[in-house]
Amino acid sequence: MKTLLFTLFALLSFTASVQADTSGEALFDAKCASCHIKVIPQDTSSLIAPPIIGVMRHVNMTYPSQKEAVKFISAYAMHPQVNKAVCQSQKIKRFGLMPSQKGNLSEEDLHSISVWLVKNYLSSPPKQTGSKSCNN
């Protein structure tokens, strides 16, 4: 009986962690991907915000600790400021400052997105071709 309960608990824990990872990506797709696409396109002229892979490269250079990266992303998305931005100033000039996500995302949703971004773009960044600057 103990083995069955332990197995059930382990399965439920695993399912919850998989759902948390999936919900972070689902939230990103629903709330962020309309501006921050996941891949670097061949033609960058129609971009309205830097691709997330470029943003996360700059986050990683500034906040190499995963915990600090999650904290930064969550805080910055709610209260973006030029002096706290990790992208180069010419990228902010091109795209403008990110609008605050306050009222668009809850802190819990933003935390889920931030954790997903860090796990997927800092732990083992996706392989991409082309420039790796924040605007490409």
Question: What residue type is 26 in one-letter code?
Answer: A
For residue range 54-81, what is the model confidence (pLDDT) as tens digits? 999 999 999 999 999 999 999 999 999 9
More confident residue, 92 or 135: 92
- The per-residue pLDDT for range 2-53, each reduced to its tens digit, is 544 444 444 444 444 444 445 999 999 999 999 999 998 999 999 999 999 9
Those residues whose C-beta lies under 8 Å from the C-beta of residue 68, and which sit 6 or more positions away, are: none
**Residues 87-113: tens digit of each pLDDT:** 989 999 999 999 999 999 999 999 999
Identify the architecture of domain 2-36+45-121 in CATH: Orthogonal Bundle (1.10)
Instruction: Tell me the pTM.
Output: 0.74
40-49, Cβ contacts within 8 angstroms, sequence gap of 24 or more? 40/128, 40/129, 40/130, 40/131, 40/132, 40/136, 42/130, 44/135, 44/136, 47/95, 47/135, 48/95, 49/95, 49/98
Domain ranges of the chain: 2-36+45-121
